[in-house]
Amino acid sequence: MESLTRALVAGWLPERPEDGHKGTFGRVLIAGGSVGYTGAPVLAARSAVRGGAGLVFLGVPRSVWPVAAVKCDEAMPFPLPEDEGGRLAAAALEPLAERLAGCDAGLVGPGLGQSEALDGLVAGLLTRAECPMVADADGLNALARHMDILRRVNVPLILTPHDGEFRRLSGHWPGADRAQEAAAFAQAHRCVLVLKGHRTVIAGPEGQLFRNTTGNQGMAKGGSGDALAGLILSLLGQGMEPVQAAAAAVWIHGRAGDRAAEARSFRGMTPSDLVETLPEVWREDFHC
């Protein structure tokens, strides 16, 4: 297992050509949000923008759309059919799939909520996707109820569980050797697994294994995982290999969290502070 370092991450990051345009730096799509959970998809979208993505689309339930539209200046939220609970309805699958067809990477799950229709929506998006995908939060909960979906996904897939979500996916809590647990899961299910927690572990389907070296307890707040998912999505959409995109995003996310804690304190920092600190990481740590 290799420890992540600034130098290692720097060697993976793609170049940003001087003559690049919006399309050069990736079109990405986020599907999520529900009444009562408007912050999660917005944080993911903001993080994707700060991560350098050229175009960030955000599909949310119709009643959530005005809130997301007010909160997002650079990302582009659009309204979708919803059910009586303010969650995405089954009818949202087709417009999402059409938008995803023109994108370089997709993310499903932040603030999504749970229902049988959403299980079908997650399955439909993942199995119809022609670009790399990230499943987070309620996207993972949908997979946990239908693990057969993983056998039908034909594109690179990154899963981002914390320990509780890993238990739902695997049927057991991670043991003392979290790295071995992550590696076994990633190889068995042919995916990239980001097992979040203190010293997050990133495992790939070919036996790649990394341990993170950044981050702090101030990041243990709702929304930090959404910011990480958006950053992974951003790097994935910019053309990075899935394992490298996941590992680099974890290190950069933790580095931004460390900088935010220095400025705001462990208790006082927020996931929004972390996202707004990403430009400092790009400038100071990577000179870009």
In what helix (H) or strand (E) does residue 61 lie, and over which residues does it extend? strand 55-61
Using 50, 70 and 90 to split pLDDT, how confident is the model at 30? very high
Cα–Cα dist 245/46, whole Å: 17
CB atoms within 10 A of CB 284: 10
In what helix (H) or strand (E) does residue 140 lie, and over which residues does it extend? helix 138-145
Which residues have CB under 8 Å from 77's CB, separation 6+? 45, 57, 58, 59, 60, 65, 68, 69
Three-state secondary structure readout of 93-134: HHHHHHHHCCCCEEEECCCCCCCHHHHHHHHHHHHHCCCCEE
Q: What is the CA radius of gyration of the chain?
A: 17
Closest CA to 92 of 76, 79, 75, 104: 79
Q: Is 240 helix (H, G, I), strand (E, B) or coil?
A: coil
Residue 150 clears pLDDT 90, i.e. is over it? yes
Using 50, 70 and 90 to split pLDDT, how confident is the model at 141? very high
**% of the chain exceeding 70 in pLDDT:** 100
Which residues have CB under 8 Å from 188's CB, separation 6+? none
136 token code pair: 């987070």
In what helix (H) or strand (E) does residue 194 lie, and over which residues does it extend? strand 192-195
Enumerate the β-bridge partners of residue 57.
29, 76
Enumerate the β-bridge partners of residue 28.
56, 105
User: Positive or negative CA dihedral for 255, 256, 258, 259?
Assistant: positive
Residue 4 clears pLDDT 90, i.e. is over it? yes
Using 50, 70 and 90 to split pLDDT, how confident is the model at 125? very high
In what helix (H) or strand (E) does residue 88 lie, and over which residues does it extend? none
Which residues have CB under 8 Å from 66's CB, separation 6+? none
Using 50, 70 and 90 to split pLDDT, how confident is the model at 175? confident
Q: Is the pTM value of this prediction over 0.85?
A: yes
Strands 27-31 and 105-108: parallel
Average pLDDT over residues 192-221: 97
Range of weakest confidence among 48-52, 130-134, 175-179, 199-203 = 175-179
pLDDT value for 72:
95
pLDDT value for 55:
98
pLDDT value for 18:
87
Check if the beta carbon of residue 29 is closer than 8 Å to that of residue 106. yes
User: From its phi and psi, is residue 70 left (phi > 0), alpha (psi between -120 and 50) or beta?
Assistant: alpha
Residue 24 clears pLDDT 90, i.e. is over it? no
pLDDT value for 19:
87
Q: Give 266-288 pLDDT, tens digit per residue.
A: 999 999 999 999 999 999 999 88
Using 50, 70 and 90 to split pLDDT, how confident is the model at 23? confident
pLDDT value for 69:
96
pLDDT value for 176:
87
Residue 17 clears pLDDT 90, i.e. is over it? no
pLDDT value for 181:
96
Enumerate the β-bridge partners of residue 2.
210
Query: Burial, 244: exposed, middle or buried (Cβ in 10 Å; 0-12, 13-18, 19+)?
Result: buried
| Average predicted confidence (pLDDT) for the chain | 96
